[in-house]
Amino acid sequence: MKKISIYILAVMTIGAGCTKTYNDTINGQTPDQRVAAAITAYQKKLTGAPYGWILMESTTGVAYNQGTSQTGPKIVLAYYMSFTDSNKVTMFSDWDPTMAATPKSSSYNVKELTRPALIFDTYSYIHVPCDPDPNISHSPYGFGYGWGTDFEFSFSDSVTADQLGDTIHLTGNLNGARAVLIKATQAQRDGYYAGNVLALMGGALSLNNILEYFKRLSIGGNNYELRLDLTNRTVTFTWVDGSGKIQTQTVNYYITGSGIQFATPIVNGSQTITGISNITYNAGNSTATVTIGSQTGTITGAATPLQADATAGSRWWNYGASNGYFWASAYGFHVNGVDDAYGIRNQTDTAQGGGTYYYLAYWPAYYSNPADRLSSIMLYTNHLGFASYHWAAYPPLYPSNGTTVFQGAGDDGNAPTPSGSAFDKTRQTLFNSAGFYVVQTGEKSYDMVLATNGRTWISWFWPQ
């Protein structure tokens, strides 16, 4: 009986604890009312910027679909956005020239989810990089994945909506991309409508008119080599520091109405480069004039690098030899401004029921003596295989000028290389005794620039 009384007491105590003696309103406002007020305040914040906003979005290198993720290159994108009271937003994007030149109107909403969220709820430019259709996003993350960008964001500042300043932080709800809304100035807005982004894109593309591989930027007494990767939206700066060492920094870029901006600044001693505000190509002397901060610099073509990476060639060869596989090139040689100058992609083969070009391969230590093999890889009916004709080569030499020299040994006597064919031209260029400057462009990718005049090069990737 005593036991039962204790139970009853316990239950009654718990029951009594349920009585709400506190008030769940703050300043007389219920949670619902506070949510509604916060949503209104966020919306007002967005529509209250007279010249709109610049939205800068950075990915984390991860993209999600169906609850699983893929990793890939990180990118940074910039948009101009102007929000109206009627749930409409007008935007520009630096994704491609059309989106840089033509504003697009779509809708947005501010909604309470687990956090207040800004949702771009009908399709616009911001949806293109995260479109799961690979024909639209051109994402390297694979079928069904975008680049890891978002169109549904949570407001992620730890202050209330009415305390927000001119910078608003957002976090993507699906992919976790980070975005920052920065209140635009009139000049920035005007820059977008004047087509500055398109002009900057054109300026960057015009650097391709400089036929040399090495594009040398001279600014404020320093020299840099620039390498632009339009697919992955990066720019690489290479320079020689005070102690004579090569320094390389690859940064994401994005383009706004006021210039090409770097997500991370390039720092070389006392010189810091945060972006390029203007690029003008001068066809007369094949150079470009650039404005960086308050300084003017020039970009010219160079036949040789600032300093050759003397071990890059042996790193390349050894990686292939030790992994027992080949380096591949999709486009063969680029010569004097022409991609695939020899037409290697048109190569066909009549063997094994007929094959079409897949890629060019250089296989270090393919033979045990050791010797290398240069061959095209063909796509036959249902498999990949070596083309009928190929060349053997002795392992490359690495002379003291920092080049890598390939040494052709001969073709297969049973299947001689047709003279003047794309493959014949390719092997003649590769076995040129002038050798190549080898540039490592990524973890498993290299470019090789023919040392004669710097206008002939080939890009290799690791196909495994």
Partner 1 sequence: MRTYFNIFAVLAILLSAASCKKDNFTPLTTPPPGLGGDTWAQDSTDKFIHDSMTVPYNVAVYYKWLPGQLDFPSEITPPDEAKVIPMLKALLAVAYGPYNQQTGSTTFLRKYLPKALEMAGSAEYLPNGAIFLGQAEGGTAMLLYQVNQFSRLKKDSNTFKQTMHTMHHEFGHILHQNVLYPATYKTISTGYTGQWYNVADADARQQGFITAYAMSAPDEDFVEMISSMLAGAPGGPSGGYDEYEALLDQAGGPGSPGYTTIKAKEAVVVDYFARVWNIDFYALRTKCRTAFVNYLQ
If the CB atoms of residues 16 and 159 are measured against partner 1, the closer one turns out to be 16
301 vs 248, 253, 305, CA distance in Å? Answer: 19, 22, 10
If one asks whether residue 14 binds partner 1 (CB under 8 A), the answer comes out as: yes
If one asks whether residue 92 binds partner 1 (CB under 8 A), the answer comes out as: no
Q: Which of 2, 4, 294, 413 binds partner 1 (CB under 8 A)?
A: 4
Q: Which of 2, 6, 68, 382 binds partner 1 (CB under 8 A)?
A: 68
Q: Quick one: which segment of 13-21, 73-81, 250-258, 377-385 binds partner 1 (CB under 8 A)? A: 13-21
| Contact call for residues 320 and 363 (beta carbons, < 8 A) | yes
Q: What is the CA radius of gyration of the chain?
A: 29
| Contact call for residues 151 and 130 (beta carbons, < 8 A) | yes
If one asks whether residue 6 binds partner 1 (CB under 8 A), the answer comes out as: no
Q: Which of 18, 243, 285, 381 binds partner 1 (CB under 8 A)?
A: 18
Q: Read off the tokens for 263.
A: 């997500």
If one asks whether residue 87 binds partner 1 (CB under 8 A), the answer comes out as: yes
If one asks whether residue 113 binds partner 1 (CB under 8 A), the answer comes out as: yes
CA distance 290 to 88: 37
What residues contact 53, with CB distance under 8 A and at least 6 apart? 46, 80, 81, 82, 83, 181, 182, 183, 184
What residues contact 6, with CB distance under 8 A and at least 6 apart? none
String of contacts with partner 1 for each residue 160-199, x by CB under 8 A:
-------------xx-------------------------
If the CB atoms of residues 162 and 241 are measured against partner 1, the closer one turns out to be 162
CB 124 to partner 1: min, Å: 8
CB 55 to partner 1: min, Å: 17
Q: Which of 58, 59, 93, 106 binds partner 1 (CB under 8 A)?
A: 106
φ/ψ (deg, to 5) at 303: -75, -25
Q: Is the dihedral angle over the CA atoms 61, 215, 437, 429 positive or is it negative?
A: positive
If one asks whether residue 432 binds partner 1 (CB under 8 A), the answer comes out as: no
Inter-axis angle of helices 186-193 and 196-206, nearest 10:
60
| Contact call for residues 427 and 410 (beta carbons, < 8 A) | no
Which residue's entry shows tokens 């501010």? Answer: 110
| Contact call for residues 417 and 389 (beta carbons, < 8 A) | yes
CB 18 to partner 1: min, Å: 4
CB 27 to partner 1: min, Å: 12
Q: Which of 146, 191, 275, 355 binds partner 1 (CB under 8 A)?
A: 146
If one asks whether residue 120 binds partner 1 (CB under 8 A), the answer comes out as: yes
CB 301 to partner 1: min, Å: 42
If one asks whether residue 73 binds partner 1 (CB under 8 A), the answer comes out as: no
List the interface residues with partner 1, window 25-54 (CB under 8 A): 25, 30, 32-33, 35-36, 39
Q: Quick one: which segment of 24-32, 178-186, 269-277, 417-425 binds partner 1 (CB under 8 A)? A: 24-32
CB 307 to partner 1: min, Å: 44
If the CB atoms of residues 106 and 196 are measured against partner 1, the closer one turns out to be 106
φ/ψ (deg, to 5) at 365: 55, 40
# of chain residues touching partner 1 (CB under 8 A): 59
Q: Read off the tokens for 135.
A: 């024909």
Q: Using DSSP, state whether 196 is helix, strand or coil.
A: helix
If one asks whether residue 382 binds partner 1 (CB under 8 A), the answer comes out as: no
Which residue type is seen at 324? G
Which residue type is seen at 172? G
| Contact call for residues 149 and 170 (beta carbons, < 8 A) | no
If the CB atoms of residues 87 and 268 are measured against partner 1, the closer one turns out to be 87
CA distance 101 to 116: 32
If one asks whether residue 143 binds partner 1 (CB under 8 A), the answer comes out as: yes
Q: What's the CA angle centered on 380, arms 376 and 382, to 5 degrees?
A: 135
Q: Which of 313, 285, 440 is nearest to 372 (CA)?
A: 313
Strand-pair partners of 107: 88
Q: Quick one: which segment of 142-150, 160-168, 178-186, 395-403 binds partner 1 (CB under 8 A)? A: 142-150
Q: Read off the tokens for 312.
A: 């890059």
If one asks whether residue 111 binds partner 1 (CB under 8 A), the answer comes out as: yes
Binding footprint of partner 1 on the chain (CB under 8 A): 4, 7-8, 11-12, 14-16, 18-20, 23-25, 30, 32-33, 35-36, 39, 63-68, 85-88, 106-107, 109-113, 116-117, 119-124, 127, 130-133, 136, 143-146, 151-152, 173-174
